[in-house]
A = this chain, B = another copy of it.
């Protein structure tokens, strides 16, 4: 194992031209990134103040004042800069370069001589730097900034911003490690590990990998670093309990971990870095730990939408099969993190089960995090919302029936921006023999491992089960394998190779039995420009049932089609959605819809029932009567775009 490493492309190797994703990338580029910049600059008066640019200006000596915002406020700018850097790679609009240059200048001025960059401590408590790694998010903020610098370098080829990132990393590397003169330390919120590994991949400088390895290996060791630190430090930020080792994934050395615990975003960021390091070091024990954690999440702790984190208390995982739909957390950032984790697992082992989950996250809970017009965002992605309790009644306060505009803690919106702009990284992979198509995203991929080869993709996905991969270029007539993922839920998948041999074109049915391995269709013979493979599969509406061990889904059924999970909304079905039921025998009809608010999508309808109230009292010996009602399902990612109302994914199966 850990042999057949596959690499993520740089974004500028690719171009997305896709009937589904174009809308979202354009939205991010044209609306979300500029809008978020205004927020970062405090130019939108009705929105909670960000102050992050001003914090950097104060740290740079360009302005006077106090730090304002969360202790991790810096990361808002860093994640925005990563999205802008992605935008430079995928867009011709010079606005992004101009904006990036301005910010790089500011960030450079804010950075201290030794590379340290965290405006909270620079402004507020310069003498307390590095004293509260559990809570203070210094390594987290600097990690995000390093990621942004790497993204910028990959997009532009220029290293002005990368130098800032390297300076940060070197500052960290000089301080933390096992070598004489260095200090012990691990971050309360994993992120620096991902960043240092990205920096290593971009620069090839091994010290960054070694520093990431240090942080990963040090985690969960004795004595508990956070307890040691808590005894020394004289500041406190959130009052976190340093003894709560599971919350911050500090309970065991990483290679011994068997169960996903604690804060879901922290967990998935750590596992992402672990998987990346396992690939870099060909570390089978680390890969095995990642595999255990993956299975624990996917087989016991994940909502059907891809959401993770069952409880608001610590925004955390709970126990296996505990998946409440209405008091759920399922943070948007945690789904973004699962995309990262899946992508790193694919790197070592191209198995469809990773890509299927990655796709599920992207088409459901990553997109549901954002209003369809890009102006508002969900933190929490519930599977059941009732505005009479959601957002109001104790225990439900965090579950909102409508996306709010912006949060004081604004981690999710820029995470969606950087994830969707980097879509091609998740869609494609390659090594010197093989090009991997993990997702069906229309556009072009130009290989860097197999020189001169580019592939064009056309697809009606996710609404239609057909996709065509065509050789766009192959300057050196290289032979290679194209590995295309076939989703596990696809029915009657078939593929036809159309190969040009001079003037002649031969068509050839691909034998699924021979070519499909672990969810990937391995195709050879695509060599000449114009050679293509046409893949098609049926995409019937699927009824999905939870394992009977999931207490909260007993007797319920969910609807999905392709990668899209569906939901009932009050807008289409009236209030009291819990009174609806779907008979086993009901035919599920599909219809293509163009909606001014929701865009184009496939709507699903079925003849169902509604329980009718017998009167005002609470309990009756008379069973509620039912009336026929058409049930209308819309894609989950579109919910909450038409005003406040009820929503639910699971419906009673009768």
Contact partner of A545 (CB less than 8 A), chosen from B319, B544, B622, is: B622
B578 A313 Cβ-Cβ under 8 A: no
Q: Does A554 contact B (CB under 8 A)?
A: yes
Which residue from chain B places its CB closest to the CB of A353 in the assembled complex?
B617
24 contacts between A and B (CB under 8 A): A299-B618, A304-B618, A304-B619, A311-B395, A316-B394, A318-B389, A319-B392, A319-B393, A322-B388, A322-B393, A395-B395, A543-B621, A544-B621, A545-B620, A545-B621, A547-B613, A547-B620, A548-B579, A548-B613, A549-B576, A551-B578, A555-B652, A555-B654, A558-B619
State how many copies of this chain the complex holds.
Answer: 2
Partner of A313, one of B313, B319, B394, B617: B394
A386-413 vs B, CB cutoff 8 Å, 1 = contact: the mask equals 1011001111000000000000000000
User: Is A624's CB within 8 Å of the partner chain B?
Assistant: yes
Check A211 for interface membership: any CB of B closer than 8 A.
no
Contact A299 B578 (CB under 8 A): no
Q: Which residues of A contact B (CB under 8 A)?
A: 298-300, 302, 304, 310-314, 316, 318-319, 321-323, 327, 386, 388-389, 392-395, 489, 542-551, 554-555, 557-558, 576, 578-579, 581, 584, 611-624, 652-654
In the complex, chain B residues whose CB is within 8 Å of the CB of A395 = 311-313, 327, 395
- Are A551 and B318 neighbours in the complex by a CB distance under 8 Å? no
Assess whether B318 is in contact with A544, with CB atoms less than 8 Å apart: no
- Does A547 contact B311, Cβ atoms closer than 8 Å? no
The A interface, classified by DSSP as helix, strand, loop or mixed, is loop
Bound-state Cα–Cα, A624 to B546, Å: 8
Chain B residue with Cβ nearest A540: B621
Contact A547:B614 (CB < 8 A) given known A395-B327, A555-B581 = yes
Task: Give the distance to chain B from A10, nearest Cβ to Cβ, in Å.
Answer: 35
Chain B residues in 8 Å Cβ range of A653: 623
Contact A489 B621 (CB under 8 A): yes
Known: A318-B393, A544-B619, A545-B620. 19 other contacts (CB 8 A): A298-B618, A302-B618, A311-B393, A311-B394, A312-B394, A314-B394, A318-B394, A319-B393, A322-B388, A327-B395, A395-B395, A489-B621, A542-B621, A548-B576, A549-B576, A551-B576, A555-B555, A558-B619, A584-B623
Given known pairs A395-B395, A555-B581, A612-B548, the reply for A389 and B319 (CB within 8 Å) is: yes
Q: How far is the CB of A629 from chain B (nearest CB, A)?
A: 13
**Best-buried of A386, A395, A620 by chain B (most CB within 10 Å):** A395
C-alpha gap A515/B306 in the complex (Å): 63
Shortest distance from the beta carbon of A419 to any chain B beta carbon, whole Å: 23
- A624 CB contacts on chain B under 8 angstroms: 545, 547-548
A13 to B366, CA, bound (A): 71
| Complex CA–CA separation, A152 to B611 (angstroms) | 53
Bound CA–CA A304/B621 (angstroms): 12
Q: Is the CB of A618 within 8 A of B318?
A: no
Distance of A206 Cα from B318 Cα, bound (Å): 58
Contacts of A327 in B (CB 8 A): 327, 395
Q: Which of A300, A312, A394, A557 has the most CB of B within 10 A?
A: A394
Please give the distance in Å from A594's CB to the nearest CB on chain B.
Answer: 29
The smallest C-beta distance from A618 to any residue of chain B, in angstroms, reads 5
Is A618's CB under 8 angstroms from B546's CB? yes
**Residues in B neighbouring A554, C-beta threshold 8 A:** 578-579, 611, 652
B623 engages A543 (CB within 8 Å):
yes
Contacts of A584 in B (CB 8 A): 623
Q: Which residue of B lies closest to A386 (CB)?
A: B551
- Shortest Cβ distance from A331 into chain B, in angstroms? 15
Q: Which residues of B contact A386 (CB under 8 A)?
A: 551
> In the assembled complex, which residues on chain B have CB atoms less than 8 Å from the CB atom of A548?
576, 578-579, 611-613, 624
A299, chain B: closest CB distance, angstroms: 5
Question: Inside 8 A of A489's CB, which chain B residues have their CB?
Answer: 621
A498 to chain B, nearest CB (A): 32
A623 touches which of B316, B322, B323, B545 (Cβ 8 Å): B545
Assembly CA distance A319 to B396 (angstroms): 12
Do A319 and B611 form a contact, CB below 8 Å, given A555-B581, A576-B548, A616-B299?
no
Which of A312, A542, A619 is the most central at the interface, judged by chain B CB atoms within 10 Å of its CB?
A: A619
